[in-house]
Structure 1
Amino acid sequence: MMTAPMPRAYGTNRIAALLAVVAISDFLIFGQAPGLNLFLSVILVAAAILLSARRRAPPWTAAFLFGLAAFAAAPLIETPSPMGIAVSLGAIICVALASAGLVPHRLSGLPPVLFRFILIVPLRLLQDCQKHLAWRAERSSFAAIWRNLGIWMVPVIPASVFLLLFAIANPLIEDALRRIDFAFLLRFMDLWRIGFWLTMAAFIWAMLRPRLKRRIVQRRAADTAADPAEIPFLTHASLLRSLLLFNTLFAIQTLLDLVYLWGGADLPDGMTHAEYAHRGAYPLIATALLAAVFVLIAMRRGGPGDKSPLIRGLVHVWIGQNVLLCLSAILRLDLYVEVYSLTELRVAAGIWMGLVAVGLVLILLRIVLHQSNQWLIAANIAVLASVLYLSAFIDFSAFIARFNITHSLELSHEGVPLDIDYLSSLGPSAIPALDLYLSALPEEAVDKRHRALSVRQSLAYDLAYRPRDWRSWSFRSERIEAYLRSPATIER
């Protein structure tokens, strides 16, 4: 009787690559501060994917994919950051999909493929283990398992007895056994370490054997696919009235911003421009996001908005007003920063507002060029990835520290006093800006000078006593250390 065939072989090279990458990642990452080790890990995973692929890619293709992973991981050499890690993971996923031939021919098809792949990543290793064990259970019987155990029990038990006798008879063997560091071996039984191994193994195995989650919803028949589903109450008449009302409301808001925000007209008594700016920055971005969702629903292909030139014109005007709304929100944030200084959250808010404005422009292009929503998602992913990649190279802490110091009351004689406590939370990157602050402070400002010196010394101490292992090296920390070692800095 023929036995069931084994599921498609996982390949010795893939299992070897998995074990090797997990072991090297343990050496590079576990128990170490993030730094150069993250970049090396990305390069390692990319190499493992390309070398263990079922079908080897042509040399030029493999070189391109490897170069893509290295280029995406370059921000991790500058400094380890969430943005750099996110871009690197995205590049690794693209390399894995490309090595398995799962990358769609058009960029607009990439977002759903990425989504289907990410959904299956956490369970890929578990599913393959279950399949393998099920296959083993079908082929194995209790007698066969007992026979395999007996094959190993017969030599191991007598060998252990012989080793014990030799240790009693030979002091050299006894001394060698006593020198075995069981404490070192027990270190590898740490629960956190085992969790790290399992997490790395699950991620790497999914990269080595990429698969996409099966589609749950089947494609509709051709006759029904051509007719989009109707949305209740979103008819031509309701859509036209909605856009007229929305454009009127947005026009009022835009006019108020043009008069008071851009024109600088006097506000009512008791209200400052800073308060006017602060209260509107974030709600306006939420308004623009809701407007974008409404436009996507209203202008779906085959819907009432897609067939009416009047509605299309009103949508174009409304998107333009939303872009102005985003620019007003950015200006509001700028005015608020001038009064209350800059923070990391406000920098992130400014970048986010810019992304929302670009997204609205892309929605307009999607309507004008008659593109699909997949095209829109792909374009937004490309913009987001580019912004994340470039932002990963920027030392925002140093930028914020210098901005707050140069615009502080002590140096510019306007604005608010410097928040030295917030500067201390920015890390060693704030040291050059603190030196500028100390050099500009008058001699009589003893308390401020003492506080600034205390913060600077604390930041320099943290940098000096950070982990010195080569795995934790980063270019940004090296630059700051070089600055502190420079003769001009030492003489201060």
Structure 2
Amino acid sequence: MRAGPPGPVPTATLGCVLVTGLLSMLLLGDGLALNLLIVAVPATLAAYFAARTAGRRPRPWSLTWAVGGLALLVVPALRDAGWPSFLAIVSSVALASLALHGCRTWPGVLLSPLGIFDSILRGLGWGWRGVRERAGGARGAGPVLRAVAVAVVLLLVFGALFAGADAAFADLLGELIPDASLSGSPWRVLLLIVGVVGALAAAHTAAAPVRWDRLVVKRGRARGRVEWALPLIVLNVLFAAFNAVQLTVLFGGYDSVLDKTGLSYAAYARQGFWQLLLATLLTLLVIVFALRWAPRDDPRDRRLVRAVLGTLCALTLVVVASAVRRMDMYVEAYGLTRLRISVVGIELWLGAIILLIMAAGVWGARWLPRAVAASAAVGVLAFGLLSPDGLIAERNVQRYEETGKFDFDYTRQLSADAVPALDKLPEPQRSCAIKPIADGLGTERGPWYATSLGESRARRIIEARPPSVAPGVCGTGSVDTSYSSYR
């Protein structure tokens, strides 16, 4: 599956690798925000030049993965919350691996991230050979690379000395360029190494990718019609019966829930959400194994497969809608939390996968692996752009206005993204909700490249109206303890 060894590393790739390492050293030591996107741009260019020299032309899907990976890195620049940013960074790495490998099959989509790790040591040797070839000559790129390296070292050393000698000059440098003081040198050297190694691994992968698409998963032995279809038909009947109950009970309103179940509105919603989420996941596994053993020699068999699995997918969509509706009912009763918004997002994504499977049954399944990967990336990007912490705070502020109940303990776990919504609370509830977030931010501002838009907005609000409450006030008042009972 390995491609042949790549040719000599291009000079443009070496230059982009050096820029990536320097930017990593200077920008990534203060946190992750816009700096992550800035560092990713030269690394992307390094891979592009390496692929072009190796004769690989960018295809539409590869360009889509590359643009999507860079777009996902906008999330840390916008949001202060760490959990959507983490999902965005992991998804960005996955899309980058797809762009570098150009995979189309299920094994390729699932295994392509391993190709980048496979290229770490190979990329280092490849880059070292390229540097040695150029460093020995008196012409070409060797003198330029040596001159740039010497200039960078001189700037760092004398810039740090002058900054330590004059406070005014230090302030000027602090506003224009990142901190290059000697105090954090070991950490910055590590970041330099990580940036160089990562960019070289990406470039080597682009020049000589692992051919994951050549992995072939043998299809299972086709079963007879009765052996294959009977269990699925029985399952369809069970799904249909359950969905009939859901349509009459769950979507019939509050009175219908009380009459038919004897439970409260929220208790009924809480009772079955997790079971329905698990049922959706198991249905996807059933579809996978059913397709593996499906009869496929006769046109009638293929029509049977489409009919049975299409019906199962359609009935599963009703289960997805029921699960989402149950969680919506529970949120109406007890408010929105990170767990609740996360599992609803997962359930909606599973519903999107089922729709894609239904479309593949009509138009073919060659595009399905890439479409599923794209749907996951779009979901993560949308999740980050929606600002989940801000949405949680906004929904719970609305609930406070309607019921007078608010969980201040849970609010302390939210990030600075929640401050604009919490700012709408009346006093002293506003100060009680914002003060823990303000204390977490502190008074010292980070550099522009390591400060998210969410943190910047929160600081402006806090500076305009600092939270101020008397001691003991935030420990009293109406706190809905039932809100915290299901996180």
CA contact (8 A) 2:93 2:113 kept: no
Q: Deviations over 1:346-376 (max 9, x none)?
A: 111111111111111111111122x12x422
2:209 is matched with which residue?
A: 212
The answer as to 2:67 corresponding to 1:78 is no
2:424 aligned counterpart, secondary structure:
helix
Aligned letter for 1:262? F
Counterpart residue number, 1:458: 436
Give the counterpart letter for 1:79 in structure 2.
Answer: R
- Residue in structure 2 matched with residue 46 of structure 1 by the alignment: 44
From 438, 459, 481, the equivalent of 1:481 is 459
Aligned to 1:89: 93
Correspondence 1:52-67 to 2 at 5 A: 55=53
Q: Aligned-pair distance for 1:379?
A: 1.4
SS at match of 2:406: coil
Question: Is the 2:79–2:452 Cα contact (8 Å) retained in structure 1?
Answer: yes
1:465 match: secondary structure = coil
Q: Which of the residues 335, 342, 349 maps onto 2:343?
A: 349
Counterpart-to-counterpart distance in 2, 1:77 and 1:327: 33
Decide whether aligned partners of structure 1 residues 245 and 208 sit closer, same or farther in structure 2, where only a CA change above 3 A counts. same
Distance 1:473 1:344, change over 3 A: same
Q: CA RMSD in A?
A: 4.0
| Residue 235 (structure 2) pairs with residue 250 (structure 1) | no
Q: Which has the larger radius of gyration?
A: 1
CA distance in 2, matches of 1:407, 1:431: 16
Residue identity matched to 1:213: V
Aligned-partner Cα distance in 2 for 1:292–1:66:
29
What residue is the counterpart of 1:176 in the other structure? Answer: none
1:26-425 correspondence to structure 2 within 5 Å = 26-30=25-29, 32-51=30-49, 55=53, 71-79=71-79, 81-90=85-94, 92-93=96-97, 97=100, 103=102, 109=104, 112-128=107-123, 188=185, 190=186, 196-210=191-205, 211-214=208-211, 228-230=219-221, 234-264=223-253, 265=256, 266-267=258-259, 271-300=263-292, 303=295, 307=301, 309-369=303-363, 371-372=364-365, 374-408=366-400, 411-413=401-403, 417-425=405-413
The count of aligned residue pairs is 401
Cα contact 2:120–2:201 (8 A) shared by 1: yes
2:17 corresponds to 1:18: yes
Deviation string 1:422-473 (CA, Å, 9 cap, x unpaired) is: 112112333333332225xxxxxxxxx3x65244233234335254222212
Distance 1:187 1:86, change over 3 A: closer
TM-fit CA distance, 1:28: 0.8
- Partners in 2 of 1:63 and 1:357 — Cα distance? 27
Q: Are the equivalent residues in 1 in contact too, given 2:295–2:302 (CA < 8 A)? A: no
Instruction: Give 2:421's aligned amino acid.
Output: A
Q: Distance in 1 between matches of 2:76 and 2:369?
A: 26
Q: Secondary structure at the match of 2:221?
A: coil
Q: Look up the equivalent residue of 2:386 and give its one-letter code.
A: I
From the superposition, tell whether residues 64 and 336 of structure 1 become closer, same or farther in structure 2 (CA, over 3 Å).
Answer: closer
Residue in structure 2 matched with residue 434 of structure 1 by the alignment:
422
Contact 2:109–2:373 (8 Å) recurs in 1? no
* Structure 1 residues 269 and 126, CA gap change in structure 2 (3 angstroms): closer
Could you say if the C-alpha distance between residues 376 and 35 of structure 1 is closer, same or farther in structure 2, counting changes exceeding 3 Å? same
Shift of 1:239: 2.1
Say which SS state the counterpart of residue 437 (structure 1) adopts.
coil
Residue by residue over 1:125-160, the C-alpha shift from the partner in whole angstroms, topping out at 9 and shown as x without a partner, is 3235578999xxxxxxxxxxxxxxxxxxxxxxxxxx
Inter-CA distance 472–10: structure 2 relative to 1 (3 Å threshold) = same
- Shift, 1:218, TM fit: 6.8
How far is the alpha carbon of 1:326 from its aligned partner?
0.3
| Match of residue 446 from structure 2 | 468
- In the alignment, residue 25 of structure 1 is paired with which amino acid? S
Task: Tell me how far 1:310 sits from its aligned partner.
Answer: 4.2
Q: Determine if contact 2:277/2:323 at 8 Å carries over to the other structure.
A: yes
Range 241-250 or range 427-436, more displaced = 427-436
Aligned with 1:418: secondary structure?
Answer: coil
Q: Which amino acid aligns with 2:47?
A: I
Q: Is the 8 A contact 2:109 2:370 kept in 1?
A: no
Shift of 1:289: 1.9
Letter matched to residue 230 of structure 1: R
Give the AA of the match of 1:333. M
SS in 1 for 2:324: helix
Cα distance in 1 for residues equivalent to 2:351 and 2:241: 19
Give aligned-pair identity as a percent: 20
Could you give the per-residue CA deviations for residues 86-131 of structure 1, whole angstroms, max 9, x where no partner exists?
Answer: 4543554455x3xxxx536xxxx26654545421212313235578
C-alpha displacement at 1:323, in angstroms? 0.4
5+ residue gaps in structure 2?
Answer: 130-164, 166-180, 469-487
The alpha-carbon distance between structure 1 residues 331 and 364, as it changes in their structure 2 partners (threshold 3 A), is same
- Residue 230 of structure 1: SS of its match in structure 2? coil
Residues 382 and 53 from structure 1, CA distance in 2 versus in 1: closer, same or farther, beyond 3 angstroms?
A: closer
Question: Cα 1:85–1:412, aligned 2, differ >3 Å: closer, same or farther?
Answer: same
Contact 1:73 1:87 in 2 (8 A): no
Provide the residue aligned with 2:176 in structure 1. none
